Structure 1
Amino acid sequence: MSQYPTRDKQSIQQLYNTILPALAEQIHQSIAPVLPMFDNFTLERVIDTWTRDPSAADTSEVVSVENGNVQQLGLRLRLEGFQKPGVEAFNLAKDLVFKLEYSSYTVGPDKNNVWLEKPYLERWEKTELEDVAGKWSEELVEELTQRLQKLI
């Protein structure tokens, strides 16, 4: 038996119930100056229950937290109704993806870019939360800036 925890119900719940809310709080603080520019925003936790493990023998098993076979989870931000006179209103959406492997998981803006890799149940340091939230927020501001440059 491996000395490191693997992806299972407990490790997925720990990420979903503890790490994602802590990251969401950091992100919310980081993007607070941007929020008044939009009519509405949502920042929510998401779980991908559609993607199956390609190495799973049983393809009929339901993908769920309870079964410990979820492949991805994360945060999704939607900023709706950009408000600036002379600029057509627009929306922005951005994800933070936790790609769940067998004995560790990666974190990044999508499943192909990795900012951090951690074994399951390893505690996140405050600096790690701040770094990931900071990178994510910088990318959001860059996307907003590019969008505005195209419109102006």
Structure 2
Amino acid sequence: MTRDKDAILHLYNKILPTLATRIHLNLTDITPLFNDFGLEKMVDIWTKASDADDDTPISIENGNVQYMGLKLRLEGFQRAGVPPFDVTKDLLFKLGHTTYEVGPGKNIVWLEKLYGEAWTESETADIAQRWCKDVIDEITQRLERLT
């Protein structure tokens, strides 16, 4: 199976929401520390593949999206004696021709999957846990610098 509209829609409509639910559960102790919290799906419609047709717009509909994922926003950390701060973090799906890579950045790969290959419960839990650990580590580092 190769990257196409159906493969991308499966990731967007099934895999990302499942990961988002798990991530949200993992962050229930963290989110109350901030004024606002958001976790949303995102699609990069700006990055063109090197072999892309210049006339075809980048979209899920056209099956030529290169990146999608989840974007976390934690805004207005509240604690006495600490200046408020925000944290934003992405979990990226880098969509190749026959496989896609999942990780916290374009060059960091935690998992590689074939399109159409089912996610196991442990893969979902592992990716969510690793990403939440990165979020908590970032908050901890910010607090250490501020105090």
State whether TM-score is above 0.5.
Answer: yes
1:89 matches 2:120: no
The one-letter amino acid of 1:23's match is: L
1:17 matches 2:13: yes
Matches within 5 A, 1:4-83: 5-56=1-52, 58-83=53-78
Runs of at least 5 residues in structure 1 that lack an aligned partner in the other structure: none
Name the residue aligned to 1:106: 101
The one-letter amino acid of 1:24's match is: A
The one-letter amino acid of 1:49's match is: I
Deviation, 1:136, is 0.1
Runs of 4+ in 1 over 4 A off after TM superposition: none
Secondary structure in structure 2 of the residue aligned to 1:123: coil
Name the TM-score, length of structure 2 as normaliser: 0.99
2:114 alignment partner, one of 116, 119, 134: 119
The one-letter amino acid of 2:76's match is: G
Write the distance in 1 (CA, Å) between the matches of 2:116 and 2:89. Answer: 26
Write the distance in 1 (CA, Å) between the matches of 2:41 and 2:66. Answer: 14
Name the TM-score, length of structure 1 as normaliser: 0.96
The root-mean-square deviation of aligned C-alpha atoms, in Å, is 0.5
1:4-39 CA-to-partner distances (Å, cap 9, x unmatched) read x10000000000000000000010011111011001
The one-letter amino acid of 1:51's match is: T
Deviation, 1:55, is 1.7
Runs of at least 5 residues in structure 2 that lack an aligned partner in the other structure: none
The one-letter amino acid of 2:144's match is: Q
